[in-house]
Amino acid sequence: MMTAEAITNAGVLDLAEMSVRDANATLQAATEGAFTLRNPGGRHALACGLMHPVSVTVEGHAGYYCGGMNKEAEITIRGNAGTGVAENIMSGIVRVTGDASQSAGATGHGGLVVIEGNASARCGISMKGVDIVVGGNVGHMSAFMAQAGNLVVLGDAGEDLGDSIYEARLFVRGSVKRLGTDCIEKEMRPEHVAIVAGLLDRAGLFADPSEFRRYGSARRLYNFKIDNVGSY
């Protein structure tokens, strides 16, 4: 059995041989270095609550909440990720090379989340400043009640994109099945093209930024009015 203490900074953590608790304790304690999490086997809560600029590669599929509440660390999941990947991320980067399940990047306050494949429903729900770039499509109710930050989707968006959105910016290259309540298309001005270009660059994904359309809040629901009763 490997113990947390036995691992040095540049380590391979094999989940076939150690518990998630020991692996996370090692990653949380490290202040620098590169780590590989082997045999993740869809285990939950991997590499969550990291606080320092370490880099972590998860070699395979991760379960729920991988990279949750991340600060400063750079986490790459070489596979698919379960529900709530990088939920409430504060800073740093979480990248999924495959697809992500629902609520990817939920409530994130900062940092960058990159999903190279598709993201399922509620991607970026209640996002609070995080930037999310999705190489494929996003599912329904993505960016629901999104407060701040940018969601860039290279593919299509499902129903009710940006429902009850606040100040977040949504950029979609493909089609939007249906916009949610109070979410409208807005003019794509040069500064928005620049935002998308910058995010694509940071995400390492390739697309022509001028092909994106921008969506955001009509701000009609910011103060309660009875005449909007059908929208609440």
Task: Enumerate binding residues for other proteins (CB under 8 A).
Answer: 20-21, 24-25, 28, 44-45, 48-49, 51, 63-65, 68-69, 71, 83-84, 87-88, 90, 103, 106-107, 109, 122, 125-126, 128-129, 144-145, 147-148, 164, 166-167, 222-224, 226-227
Distant-in-sequence contacts of 35-39, Cβ < 8 A, 24+ apart: 35/10, 35/11, 36/11, 36/12, 37/13, 38/12, 38/13, 38/14, 39/14, 39/15
The residue (of 36 and 147) whose beta carbon lies closer to other proteins is 147
For the bound state, the minimum distance from the C-beta of residue 163 to other proteins, rounded and expressed in Å, comes to 11
Q: Which amino acid is at 70?
A: N
**How would you write 15-79 as a 3-class SS string?**
CCCCCHHHHHHHHHHCCCCEEEEECCCCCCCCCCCCCCCCEEEECCCECCCCCCCCCCCEEEECC
For the bound state, the minimum distance from the C-beta of residue 58 to other proteins, rounded and expressed in Å, comes to 14
The residue (of 48 and 188) whose beta carbon lies closer to other proteins is 48
The residue (of 65 and 171) whose beta carbon lies closer to other proteins is 65
For the bound state, the minimum distance from the C-beta of residue 182 to other proteins, rounded and expressed in Å, comes to 11
